[in-house]
Structure 1
Amino acid sequence: MNKTRQPFAILGMLFLMGTLLLACSSDKEQAGNIAATTAPATEASVSPAVPAATTRSYTDYKGHTAEIPVNPQRIIYSGETYGDLTALGVQAIGYPLSMGEGQVFEDKLTGVEDVGFPINLEKTIELQPDLIIYAGIEEADYEALSKIAPTIIFNTFAPLKERMLEIGDILGKKPEAEAWLAEYGAKEEAMWAQLKAAGMKDGETASVFTYYPGDRLFVMATTGLSQVLYGEQGFKPSPAIQQVLDDDMGFQEISLEVLQEYAGDRIFLLTPVAEEAKQSTDKLLESAVWKSLPAVKNGYVYTQDITKTSSDATTREWLLGELPAMLGKQ
């Protein structure tokens, strides 16, 4: 009886062992399949991030292309509108300090190194800039500077809005530039409303004159104080000045004989820096031509230091407060 049951017991054990082996084999295959499908996802999840670019390609208005820093830190600025930088809270490491003498932004130049005018190449090399912004247009200057650091030729005579958006882009501060322009626009609108409430009439004309050494009289057009005066809500240019504006000229030399053609209902006379030019101005004020002008007879003549009427953003903002004060002194 026991001998008969033994073969069946052995067969049962063999069958059970075979089943266990098959199960183990199946589990290993499934584990392998799971590993095969999950391994790439695990590797992808720990792949290092692509580093952000530190430079970018930029083409200036003269057609030069350079690789400039995304966020420049050591800037040399050589041009008339340094106040564009200060309006955005930026300080250069180098600037022709003679250009800043007497300017509204002069107090912002503490710690800035003098690179001279014309720009001194040895001093530029010494400062180790990572970006040079240059207002000159000579190709030889550009070639020399671009060998020191990435160099941009910048149009400092462009209109304020265009210029601020461009310099904001160059400096990696475009949102700040847009915010500054919005705030400036609101202040400008408020200023004109204030002046009109004080008696400024629609359609009134205005002119800006100044002397340069050599007894040379100039009427200002697309630069300096004129840019503020001829705003959309502001004064109008006389027909003769409108022609200068249409020709996109910053200023034009005129003779005393045609002064009356350019003179507006209000005249702004810029006090020059050079002593010789100051003497020419004094001589003008004593002339019969000057005394015959309607603006002079009506007491609508205003004087301002020429260094306080630059086109840069910081000066432009300052003038929004100064202009009502000037007109209020009549």
Structure 2
Amino acid sequence: MFTYKFRAALSMLIVCSFLISACGGNGNTTNSAGTSRETATGTDKLQIEASVATTRKVDTIHGAIEYPAEPQRIVVDAYLPTLLLLGEKPIGATAKDLENVHIQDIIAGIESTGENATEKILQLNPDLIISANSDPEVFEKLSKIAPTIILPYETYRSVHEEVEGLGAILGKEEEAKKWLADFDEKIEGLRTRVNGVIEEGETFSIFGAFGKTFYLYGDGIYRGGLAIYKELKLTPPERIQKELIAPGETFKEVSLEVLNDYAGDYIFFDESKGAEMDKKDKVWTSIDAVKQDRVFYLDAKRFWPFDPIAVLAQAEEVTEMIVSQKEKENAN
């Protein structure tokens, strides 16, 4: 009887050990120790608990990507400012990233990869690549160089989403939390200033001329939309709310003739790629905001970027535009 009970207990112990070991393999990170944390005992257990995960995993459009838990040589495309605010300085970034006017004081030492030139990236010998380019051919080339995380444009639809998302990928959750707390405090101050001068019910539109085409913009990554609508919470005209913001559309192509149907009490206007509005055009001059000189012309270099650092800078500029405009109106 004793032998039977001993064997039964031993069998149960072995089964439990297998179950515990299996559960331990389902996490997103791989521990640098080779022994399961749960099955180790005594001194071995203390050593394993003190060790650090050497890799992480993240789910992407290309499946689960495993990458170094503490990458030392990151190459980035489109997310440079966010990495910098998290305390990660990449070794390489695209030429477009490095032209961002909002980060010129913090990019020293980062090498240009042109427009994701494979040869240059290979020379930099990265251990992690983060890119917004969703072209399958680009991923295939880059992933042969180093673990590559593709986060397509508009993966993140707000400053909080982007900072928290990349903070989690890079193990910089505390840095993300701290930066966002400071960001929220500044935005709240700007929002209070704006609300102190605008009248209830006043609306704001974002228009753009791009080449020979005209666009409306919503609360997304284009032309200050994140700063104007999402952060400062300025009110859009009803049609922009209904046709763009509510369904999650970030832009809409329209003809010049219908711009008046989407015009708010104030208009933010972007002219890019050689486009220039004919300021004497009858359609344009018929818009009330134009008649009352309530059009803010945006600097493309400052309002095309849509990273968290740029959004804060844009919110500050928009606030100054509105406050100055209101002071001018009240003086007349």
Common fold by TM > 0.5: yes
Q: CA deviation at 1:270?
A: 2.1
3-state secondary structure, aligned to 2:261 = helix
> Unaligned regions of 5+ residues in structure 1, if any?
1-42
In structure 1, the residue matched to 2:140 is 143
Aligned to 1:166: 165
> Which residue of structure 2 aligns with residue 177 of structure 1?
176
Spell out, residue by residue over 1:198-234, the C-alpha distance to the aligned partner (whole angstroms, 9 max, x if none). x212332111122222x11111222241111113762
> Per-residue deviation at 1:64?
2.1
* Conserved? CA contact 2:271–2:300, under 8 Å: yes
Whether the 8 Å contact between 1:203 and 1:235 is mirrored in structure 2 is no
AA partner of residue 216 (structure 1): T
1:250 aligned to 2:245? no
Give the Å deviation of 1:257.
0.6
Q: CA RMSD in A?
A: 2.1
2:323 corresponds to 1:328:
yes
1:189-200 matched pairs, under 5 angstroms = 189-197=188-196, 199-200=197-198
Cα deviation, residue 131, structure 1:
0.7
> Which residue pairs with 1:28 in the alignment?
none
Q: Is the 8 A contact 1:155 1:163 kept in 2?
A: no
Equivalent position amino acid for 2:146 in 1: A
Query: 1:82, CA displacement in angstroms?
Result: 2.5
Q: How many residues align?
A: 277
The answer to whether the Cα contact below 8 Å between 1:64 and 1:152 also exists between their aligned partners in 2 is no
Distance in structure 1 (CA, Å) of the matches to 2:258 and 2:166: 39
Shift of 1:44: 3.9
Q: Are the equivalent residues in 1 in contact too, given 2:228–2:315 (CA < 8 A)?
A: no
Matched letter for residue 318 of structure 2? L
Check if 1:134 corresponds to 2:131.
yes
CA shift, 1:73, in A, is 1.9
How far apart in 2 are the matches of 1:125 and 1:68? Answer: 17
Q: Which amino acid aligns with 1:315?
A: A
Following TM superposition, by how much is the alpha carbon of 1:102 offset from its aligned partner in structure 2, in angstroms? Answer: 5.0
Residues 148-174 of structure 1: per-residue CA shift (max 9 Å, x gap): 111101144222211111111112211
Identity of aligned residues (%): 32
Paired position in structure 2 for 1:57: 57
State the distance in 2 between where 1:110 and 1:206 align: 38
Query: Does the 8 Å CA contact 2:237/2:262 hold for their aligned counterparts?
Result: yes
Decide whether aligned partners of structure 1 residues 97 and 259 sit closer, same or farther in structure 2, where only a CA change above 3 A counts.
Answer: same
- 1:123 equivalent to 2:117? Answer no
Q: Which runs of 4+ in 1 moved over 4 A?
A: 45-48
Q: Is the 8 A contact 2:69 2:170 kept in 1?
A: yes
Identify the residue that residue 40 of structure 1 maps to in structure 2.
Answer: none
Of 195, 202, 205, 2:203 maps to: 205
| Alignment correspondent of 2:328 | none
Q: Where in structure 2 are there 5+ consecutive unaligned residues?
A: 1-40, 326-332
TM superposition shift of 1:45: 4.3
Q: Secondary structure at the match of 1:270?
A: strand
Of 289, 302, 306 in structure 2, the residue corresponding to residue 308 of structure 1 is: 302
The aligned residue for residue 154 of structure 1 is: 151
State the AA in 2 paired with 1:311: F
Counterpart of 2:203, as a letter, is T
Distance 1:304 1:47, change over 3 A: closer
Q: Choose 1 or 2 for highest CA Rg.
A: 1
Task: Give TM-score scaled by structure 1 length.
Answer: 0.78
* Residue 75 (structure 1) shift: 0.9
Q: Name the counterpart of 1:267.
A: 267
For the pair 1:217 / 2:214, whether they are aligned, the reply is: yes
Q: TM-score, normalised by structure 2?
A: 0.77
Sort the Cα spacing of 1:55 and 1:257 in 2 relative to 1 into closer, same or farther, 3 A: same
CA distance in 1: counterparts of 2:46 and 2:307, whole angstroms? 45
Residue 194 of structure 1: how far off its partner (Å): 0.8
Distance 1:145 1:63 in 2: 13
**Residue of structure 1 aligned with 2:285, choices 282, 291, 294:** 291
Relative to structure 1, is the Cα distance of residues 290 and 100 closer, same or farther in structure 2, using a 3 angstrom cutoff? Answer: farther
Residues 248-303 of structure 1 show CA distances to partners (whole Å, capped at 9, x for unaligned) of 2222211101101111111011242x3x22xx33x2x2212112211122222112
Q: Aligned pair in 2 of structure 1 residues 313, 232: CA closer, same or farther (>3 Å)?
A: closer
Q: 1:112 aligns with which of 110, 113, 130?
A: 110
Task: Name the counterpart of 1:32.
Answer: none
Q: Distance in 1 between matches of 2:76 and 2:44?
A: 44
Q: Alpha-carbon deviation of 1:48?
A: 7.0
Paired residue type of 2:284: W
Q: Distance in 2 between matches of 1:121 and 1:102?
A: 22
Q: In the alignment, what sits opposite 1:82?
A: 80
Q: Which amino acid aligns with 1:323?
A: V
Instruction: Tell me how far apart the structure 2 counterparts of residues 47 and 174 of structure 1 sit (CA, whole Å).
Output: 27
Relative to structure 1, the CA distance from residue 46 to residue 141 in structure 2 (aligned partners, 3 Å threshold; closer, same or farther) is closer
Give the letter for the 1:124 counterpart. I
3-state secondary structure, aligned to 1:236: coil
